[in-house]
Amino acid sequence: MCEFNFFYEIKNIYEKKYRCKVTVIPENESQEKKAAQGLPGKPAIIIK
C-alpha cells in the first residue's frame, strides 16, 4: 500500500479524533510549497 492510500484510509480516524475535516492530497496536486518537502516515510502535513 502506498503512503497516499494509507493516509486516505485513516483520514476518518483523524477526523473523529480531532473533530475536523481532513483532506489527503497528492504532492503533484497541492498548491502548497511545503508539499514538495515531503519524503518517503515523512509526509508534508499542512494544518490550516
Q: How many CB atoms lie within 10 A of CB 8?
A: 16
Least confident of 20-24, 28-32, 44-48: 44-48
Strand partners, 39: 42
Tell me the mean pLDDT in the region 18-40.
Answer: 93
What is the reported pLDDT for 48?
Answer: 85
What is the reported pLDDT for 1?
Answer: 63
- Alpha-carbon span 16 to 13, nearest angstrom: 5
Q: Pick the closest to residue 25 from 10, 35, 14 (CA basis).
A: 35
Reported pTM? 0.74
pLDDT reading at 13 higher than 90 = yes
Tell me the mean pLDDT in the region 21-38.
Answer: 92
